[in-house]
Amino acid sequence: MKFNKYIRKIRILIRGFINSLIFKLLYRKGFDPSKTLIICGSTRSGSTWLAELVSSIDGHSQIFEPMHTGYVKEAKKAGINKNMYVQGNDTWLNGQNFFTRVLSGKVINPWTTSQIPWKKLIKTERLVVKFVRANLILDWLSKHLDVLPPAMVIRHPCAIIMSQLDKGWAPSKEVLLSNKYFDKYPEIKQACNQFDKREERAAIAWCMRYHAPLTLIKPYPFVLVCYENLVRNGEQEIKKLFDAWELPLTKNVLDQLTKPSDTVTENSQVVSGKDPLAGWRNKLTESEVDNILAVLNVFGMDFYSHELEPNYEKLNEFSININNS
């Protein structure tokens, strides 16, 4: 299994290396950033699947994770770091220049072009940029750049955290609570000091990444896409996004709804033919689930529970309730 994983990485990087050379040659003039489609989310949230759905439209090609400082030098030079929080009215000229270049198709290397099939590369007319590090800057992004409303994918925290823990991703509590975002919420920060188990630390990270955009005043500067509803009622959920972007819902997109993402692992629920929403129930203990939900309650994010799907009514009313309290 590990061998197959490495083979896949090598294949993707080889494709990305060739893609980046061809892309730079064909598209030196770049693209109109105001027409670029942006997809955000957390790691393991389904953002790659959504990006693949959108990129299945003729002429659309995906730019992959340009905020990853380990693979993109320009991101590091712009001052980007993990879980970076930027408020809507903050001045960040380096960031503005960087994201303008990203959305124009100017930040090109083997990593960012690794997800583009060769047959689509030479017919690219519009970019689809996928981020899992942009949730905390969505307000700033919408106020400082002329962009279409980004899509933000949200998924049950237990599903995301299960997947992250499988990969050994357990953030430090000290690093999380030192984030600038908690300056706005000292009471939440203080309450989070009681949580130190790995699933609790991962839950703090999940909450921070979604609490920031979901507490913005409505109407949101983004389109909220629920992973669970995308699985259960795919056409209805994707239509909401495509209507906002004024895109036609093509047969290619609808066909893609039944295909797993290129990033799913061999032991995933999707590959094994099981309910793609239920995997966390088999892998997380009851205690771990309770610990995760206890963190959500500190943030007031009780729209997720032991149920597989969120309470959609609570989720839709979250910003209203927070800002009126």
Average pLDDT over residues 237-241: 96
Cα–Cα separations (whole angstroms), residue 239 to 94, 151, 257 = 35, 12, 12
Q: What is the pLDDT of residue 252?
A: 85
Q: What is the pLDDT of residue 269?
A: 46
Buried b (16+ CB within 10 A) or exposed e, 60-83: bbbbbbbbbbebbebbeebebeeb
Contact 23, 62 (CB under 8 A): no
Give me the half-sphere count of Cα atoms (radius 13 Å) on the Cβ side of residue 296. Answer: 22
Sheet holding 126-130, edge to edge: 60-64, 126-130, 37-40, 151-154, 223-226
Query: pLDDT digit string (tens) for 192-209?
Result: 999 999 999 999 999 999
Token code pair at residue 191: 């309450």
Q: What is the pLDDT of residue 3?
A: 55
Whether the per-residue pLDDT at 264 is higher than 80: the answer is no
130's enclosing H/E stretch is strand 126-130
Share of the chain above pLDDT 90, in %: 81
Contact 129, 150 (CB under 8 A): no
Query: pLDDT digit string (tens) for 54-93?
Result: 999 999 999 999 999 999 999 999 999 989 999 999 999 9
Whether the per-residue pLDDT at 231 is higher than 90: the answer is yes
pTM metric for this prediction: 0.92
More confident residue, 46 or 171: 46
Residues 6+ apart with CB under 8 A from 59: 123, 124, 125, 126
Q: What is the pLDDT of residue 258?
A: 84
CA–CA gap between residue 128 and residue 123 (Å, rounded): 14
Average pLDDT over residues 236-261: 90
Domain locations along the chain = 2-324
Q: What is the pLDDT of residue 5?
A: 63
152's enclosing H/E stretch is strand 151-154
Quick one: pLDDT band at residue 324, thresholds 50, 70, 90?
low
Q: CATH number for the 2-324 domain, one of 3.30.1510.10, 3.55.50.30, 3.10.20.600, 3.40.50.300?
A: 3.40.50.300
Contact 38, 148 (CB under 8 A): yes
Query: pLDDT digit string (tens) for 289-312?
Result: 999 999 999 999 999 999 999 999
Quick one: pLDDT band at residue 170, thresholds 50, 70, 90?
confident
Token code pair at residue 68: 């990853």
Average pLDDT over residues 134-159: 97
